Structure 1
Amino acid sequence: MSLKKHLRVLAKPYYWVNILLAISYLLAKKLIPICTRVFKHRGDEMCELDSRETEILFFLLIVIMIRSRKTGSVTMINYLSASFIYTKVANTILWAYNDFRFGLGFLLLCILVGMLLPEPSYRGPEHITYFRNHEIFEEELTRDKRINWLICFYTVWNPSCVNFAPVFAELSAEYSLENLRFGKIDIGRFPIVAQKYHISDSSFSRQLPTVILFQNGKEVERRPTVSANSKLQKFFFSTDNVRAAFGLNNLYKQSVENPIKQAKPINAAAAAAIKKAQ
């Protein structure tokens, strides 16, 4: 994503309001007019961070870095989205550390913002089949073995799945053909599918999302993969990584060169001849 696109996304109210909430305590501490009014009960050092406040902020920084890497956040927007929940928790603790009423007020403000400003969802073009039934999903994979399916197994609550949604949508808009299709299935709703394809849907799972390429009705490639010693191989779900891992350019070329041939419609005269022969 270019800098211009980043700035366009950050201009949305969800992001700048949450950024203000994330730095609200530091702003209140460092802006003298606000600090002298809000923290006047702290005495002469009211506008300086004490050791406990510094520890909380340092711990917050470590948590954000670790969790962002685990969720595969590779862009500024992804880092911000993954960090908002932790910054809100830390700021609630900091405000409550100074005054319980401040902490309660900040918590209520976060709840209100969450209700009024949900995270923006991707609204661009996409060509994705959303499977609402696990039986239909299995039938569709084998119904026509000339069709290559790239399936994303996801859950609605997982941050990595949310971050990957626009990437998968953009790829579907770029590569979708009659014989190269993109699909998604929520394994949180259909755990039987997760079990069949050996994908953990727990809150600590590092397999979300999982993307599998099916050819001739069978799995031929997946990301993330599991090594020979049963260790999960980390995979960052960026557009270029997915394109390279599944060879989408070559797959698209092959699909264009070998289109699904539709049966020619029978004209009225031919239909009458067949009926007469019967």
Structure 2
Amino acid sequence: MEGKTKHSLTFSWLNALTTEPFYLLHFLLFFSYLAFRQSASPSLSPDFSSRLLRREVQAVLAFFVFVAVKLVRDETWEAFTDNILLFAKVLLVGLASLLDYHVAFCYLAGFLGHSHHLTPLQLESVLAEANTSRFWLVTFSCPWSSRCRHASQSFADLSTIYSNQSLSFGVVDLGLFPTAADIFSIPLGVGTGQLPTYILFDNAVEIARFPDLENEYRFFSPVITKRQLCKHFDLDRRLVEYASSK
């Protein structure tokens, strides 16, 4: 049974890598380090190159140890992938900072996502303006909610991959602006299962929401995953349609 679980995790990860833009683009981003490393090699001193190589070997070994630990724990493939991607990002930024902190900053900025932190008035303004994105995917969250904190990285990751001229990402802090909850019909009770709430707007009109207002989960809500959000809001299809229109 354990072997079947590991095989299933591996197959699911490879399938996602080749079929879903989020994972494919992350793979290409990690691969870009090799190109950057190769281009910088001629300007590195032998002593620095030797020390850098040791750090790279240590990073690779640490990565495989981390992967092995996560495999033993028999996590779902989504949790497994999210964990190894996060660990790989930390290692990538660390190695890049040894070569050039400018490049490390670029990686870090990309990993932090491209979402806009908005007040309710700013949100209403960008939704009404004709020169902004047609689609806005906005998350409404509270800092005191552990579920919101856990889901925030997933939203940042999605914004990194799927942001374009047609689709923008926004964040509204209901802790700072509780009136937004009334405006967009978001219950703030602990047992409502409505935090965080994600709303997709098309030309200022709400066309999709997650979770639904008639959410069946109350005091216990399942973990929100990137795959759930991608599927619910058709992010892959929207990205393909945007790319094909160019």
Matched position secondary structure for 1:204: helix
CA separation in 2, counterparts of 1:4 and 1:199?
Answer: 40
Aligned to 2:227: 240
Q: Is the 8 A contact 2:135 2:203 kept in 1?
A: yes
Runs of 4+ aligned structure 1 residues displaced above 6 Å come to none
Which runs of structure 2 are paired with 1:177-256 in the superposition (5 Å)? Answer: 177-227=164-214, 236-256=223-243
CA separation in 1, counterparts of 2:222 and 2:201?
Answer: 19
Which runs of structure 2 are paired with 1:1-278 in the superposition (5 Å)? Answer: 4=63, 7=66, 75=79, 124-131=111-118, 133-144=119-130, 147-227=134-214, 236-258=223-245
CA separation in 2, counterparts of 1:223 and 1:142?
Answer: 22
CA shift for structure 1 position 231: 5.1
CA separation in 1, counterparts of 2:64 and 2:176?
Answer: 33
CA separation in 2, counterparts of 1:141 and 1:185?
Answer: 13
CA separation in 1, counterparts of 2:207 and 2:192?
Answer: 22
**Which has the larger helix fraction?**
2
CA shift for structure 1 position 161: 0.5
AA aligned opposite 1:141: L
Question: Deviation per CA, 1:145-166, whole angstroms, max 9, x where unpaired?
Answer: 7521000000011011001011
Matched position secondary structure for 1:169: helix
Question: Deviation per CA, 1:168-220, whole angstroms, max 9, x where unpaired?
Answer: 01100011002211110011211221011111123333100000100011100
Matched position secondary structure for 2:112: coil
CA distance 1:207–1:253, change in 2 (3 Å):
same
CA shift for structure 1 position 75: 4.0
AA aligned opposite 1:7: F
CA separation in 2, counterparts of 1:178 and 1:203?
Answer: 36
Percent identity over paired residues: 24
**Structure 1 residue runs without a partner (length 5+):** 11-73, 79-121, 260-278
CA distance 1:196–1:175, change in 2 (3 Å):
same
Question: Whose radius of gyration is greater, 1 or 2?
Answer: 1
Instruction: Report the number of matched residues.
Output: 150
TM-score (norm 1): 0.46
Q: CA RMSD in A?
A: 3.5
CA distance 1:204–1:226, change in 2 (3 Å):
closer
Question: Deviation per CA, 1:209-261, whole angstroms, max 9, x where unpaired?
Answer: 0001000111000000134xx856966410111111100011112233446xx
Matched position secondary structure for 1:199: coil
TM-score (norm 2): 0.52
**Structure 2 residue runs without a partner (length 5+):** 1-8, 14-61, 70-77, 83-107
